[in-house]
């Protein structure tokens, strides 16, 4: 192919050079022009949250550096920009890895049509998931709504999903054609906020492909050996912390799954199997989003449209700021704001508290997490919130309400996690640390704590709020819509 006819690689949520199917396919056709389009201002598009925009900025910087400064960066409607860019550069083909958000599926179809009109070939590839959503279906061709049969069928359908990726190689910057844009091309996207809060948030993270590879190695050497049991304890480093790297595609899920499989062969079988199962939950969420695209906005179980949610902005603000009076909830919410993430066990506790004890609609929580998480992922975030609320597929039973005090006593017994994020109550003895409102006044005085001044009193009574939620759920279940 003549050098004057380049192939375009459109980077999306696959900001890596290793194990990138679209990149490998593009390189087979000749010299490659690499381009990224920030397209989040169009109708129907979900704009990146503040935390994930910060991550994206640094990830793009890292990718551009890996390419020797050859990454083109555009901003606007990709439906117009990709065909226009391809035509201007005289490209004969455009390659990209698939995304599964509903608006992106619609947009990609339009782009393929526009490119075909121009005589330019367009090809999408599987570079995000282990199993494509249309590969794992029930015998009648309908999608699964329960995880376990989904997972079992997935393994039977394509057991080779966790084999060594065929293209785990490092490409050279010389494989790419030069970019003629100014050096501030990524800065011009204005992904970073005016304030500098994000600098502290990202202190414990290394966005980019190299950071993802390093995180995987650290997990395999340490966290995975205690994953099955340790992942429930927020003070331990027994979780992978790979979710933002996977979301932005800085590492392929196939490489991660294969690495875990090798670890199983080296004596960590039960730990690895549990981790692979968690990766499969990510796949299940994407399957739900693909087959039920409204899951990010509407109750999957329509009977929940009649649930008597309460609209109380003051309670939501207390929850958002980590000022509910329940330390495990507050520690989680403060961890979220300070670090851009939250331990998985604590995510379930804080979510349950919002939707069941405070009876606030799950959409409020989903939107707050979307803005604060560096790993804000539409499929995982939406489906996880609906799971807790009871309105989604394979949802937690409506009567499952996490008690933040007993959860805290069980999974943060010594209060290491709580004391890290709520230093104002660190002097409390562990016996009362999990529920300061129950502490005798003498104990509070000895710790130098005045409830309502240094730390809030509990904003709701756990027993009463639990009974209120259960009553509302029972009433909803007795409606004609539920029965039908």
Active site residue 344: yes
Distance CA 17, CA 66 (A): 8
Strands 93-97 and 121-125: parallel
Looking at residue 356, what is its pLDDT?
Answer: 96
Looking at residue 54, what is its pLDDT?
Answer: 96
132, 344, 424, 482: the catalytic one is 344
pLDDT (tens digit, 9 = 90+) per residue, 50-94? 999 999 999 999 999 999 999 999 999 999 999 999 999 999 999
What are the angstrom distances between the C-alpha of 76 and each of 36, 288, 306? 11, 28, 39
Q: Cα torsion at 296, 302, 303, 307 (round to 10°)?
A: 40
Domains of the chain: 7-128 (3.40.50.620), 129-165+206-291 (1.25.40.80), 302-483 (1.10.579.10)
Closest C-alpha among 91, 53, 82, 145 to residue 392: 145
Looking at residue 44, what is its pLDDT?
Answer: 66
What are the angstrom distances between the C-alpha of 239 and each of 7, 130, 222, 326, 392? 39, 20, 9, 24, 25
Looking at residue 158, what is its pLDDT?
Answer: 66
Looking at residue 267, what is its pLDDT?
Answer: 66
Distance CA 58, CA 48 (A): 14
Per-residue pLDDT for 245 more than 60? yes
State the pTM of this model: 0.94
pLDDT (tens digit, 9 = 90+) per residue, 276-334? 999 999 999 999 999 999 999 999 999 899 999 999 999 999 999 999 999 999 999 99
pLDDT (tens digit, 9 = 90+) per residue, 353-412? 999 999 999 999 999 999 999 999 999 999 999 999 999 998 777 778 999 999 999 999
Tell me how crowded residue 189 is: count the other CB atoms within 10 A of its CB. Answer: 17
Per-residue pLDDT for 448 more than 80? yes
Looking at residue 477, what is its pLDDT?
Answer: 81
* Summary mean pLDDT of the chain: 91
Looking at residue 11, what is its pLDDT?
Answer: 98
Q: Between these two residues, 42 and 5, which has the higher pLDDT value?
A: 5
Active site residue 97: no
- Percent of the chain beyond pLDDT 70? 93
Structure tokens at 75: 């901003």
Burial class (CB in 10 A: 0-12, 13-18, 19+), 262: middle
pLDDT (tens digit, 9 = 90+) per residue, 2-15? 456 899 999 999 99
362, 368, 370, 387: the catalytic one is 362
- Percent of the chain beyond pLDDT 90? 80
DSSP letter at 32? E
One-character DSSP codes across 451-474: BTTTBPPPSS-HHHHHHHHHHHHH
pLDDT (tens digit, 9 = 90+) per residue, 210-234? 999 999 999 998 888 889 899 999 9
Looking at residue 352, what is its pLDDT?
Answer: 97
Let me know: does 62 contact 207? Beta carbons within 8 Å. yes
Q: Between these two residues, 357 and 262, which has the higher pLDDT value?
A: 357
Looking at residue 159, what is its pLDDT?
Answer: 53
Looking at residue 165, what is its pLDDT?
Answer: 55
Active site residue 278: yes
Closest C-alpha among 347, 366, 289, 359 to residue 128: 289
Looking at residue 45, what is its pLDDT?
Answer: 73
Distance CA 389, CA 307 (A): 11
What are the angstrom distances between the C-alpha of 431 and each of 284, 448, 450? 40, 16, 17
103, 197, 309, 482: the catalytic one is 309
* φ/ψ (deg, to 5) at 179: -105, 135
Looking at residue 195, what is its pLDDT?
Answer: 83
Active site residue 55: no
Looking at residue 160, what is its pLDDT?
Answer: 42
User: Strands, E, within 196-273: which ranges?
Assistant: none
Looking at residue 399, what is its pLDDT?
Answer: 76
Distance CA 220, CA 231 (A): 14
Looking at residue 92, what is its pLDDT?
Answer: 96
Q: Between these two residues, 484 and 150, which has the higher pLDDT value?
A: 150
Active site residue 96: no
What is the band of 105 on the pLDDT scale with cuts at 50, 70, 90? very high
72, 131, 385, 387: the catalytic one is 385
103, 197, 281, 482: the catalytic one is 281
């Amino acid at each position: 192919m003549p050098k004057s006819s380049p192939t375009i690689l459109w980077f999306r949520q696959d900001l890596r050079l290793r194990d990138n199917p679209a990149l490998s396919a593009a390189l087979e056709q000749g010299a490659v022009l690499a381009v990224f389009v920030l397209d989040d201002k169009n109708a129907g598009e979900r704009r990146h949250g503040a935390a994930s925009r910060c991550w994206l900025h640094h990830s793009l910087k890292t990718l551009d550096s890996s390419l020797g400064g050859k990454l083109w960066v555009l901003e606007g409607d990709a439906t117009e920009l990709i065909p226009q860019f391809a035509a201007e550069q005289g490209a004969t083909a455009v390659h990209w890895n698939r995304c599964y958000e509903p608006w992106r599926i619609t947009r990609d179809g339009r782009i393929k049509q526009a490119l075909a009109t121009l005589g330019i070939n367009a090809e999408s590839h599987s570079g995000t998931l282990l199993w494509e959503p249309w590969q794992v279906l029930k015998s009648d061709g309908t999608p699964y709504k329960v995880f376990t049969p989904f997972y079992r069928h997935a393994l039977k359908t394509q057991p080779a999903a966790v084999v060594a990726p065929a293209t785990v190689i490092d490409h050279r910057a010389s494989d790419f054609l030069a970019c003629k844009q100014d050096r501030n091309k990524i800065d011009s996207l204005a992904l970073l906020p005016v304030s500098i809060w994000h600098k502290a948030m990202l202190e414990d993270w290394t966005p980019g492909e190299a950071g993802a590879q390093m995180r995987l190695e650290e997990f395999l050497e340490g966290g995975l050996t205690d994953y099955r049991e340790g992942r429930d304890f927020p003070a331990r480093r027994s979780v992978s912390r790979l979710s933002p790297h996977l979301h932005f595609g800085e590492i392929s899920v196939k490489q991660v799954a294969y690495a875990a499989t090798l670890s199983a062969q080296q004596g960590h079988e039960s730990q690895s199997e549990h981790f692979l199962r968690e990766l499969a939950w990510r796949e299940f969420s994407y399957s739900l989003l693909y087959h039920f695209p409204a899951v990010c906005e509407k109750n999957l179980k329509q009977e929940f449209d009649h649930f008597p949610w309460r609209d109380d902005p003051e309670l939501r603000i207390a929850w958002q700021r980590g000022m509910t009076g329940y330390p495990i909830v507050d520690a989680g919410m403060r961890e979220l704001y300070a670090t851009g993430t939250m331990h998985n066990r604590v995510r379930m506790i804080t979510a349950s508290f919002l939707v069941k004890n405070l009876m606030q609609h799950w959409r409020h929580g989903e939107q707050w997490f979307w803005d604060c998480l560096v790993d804000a992922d539409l499929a995982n975030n939406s489906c996880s919130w609906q799971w807790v609320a009871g309105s989604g597929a394979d949802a937690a039973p409506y009567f499952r309400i996490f008690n933040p005090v007993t959860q805290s006593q069980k999974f943060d017994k010594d209060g290491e996690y709580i004391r890290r994020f709520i230093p104002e109550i660190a002097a409390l003895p562990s016996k009362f640390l999990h529920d300061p409102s129950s502490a005798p006044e003498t104990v509070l005085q000895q710790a130098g704590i005045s409830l309502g001044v240094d730390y809030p009193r509990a904003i709701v009574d756990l027993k009463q709020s639990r009974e209120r939620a259960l009553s509302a759920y029972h009433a909803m279940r007795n409606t004609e819509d539920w029965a039908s």
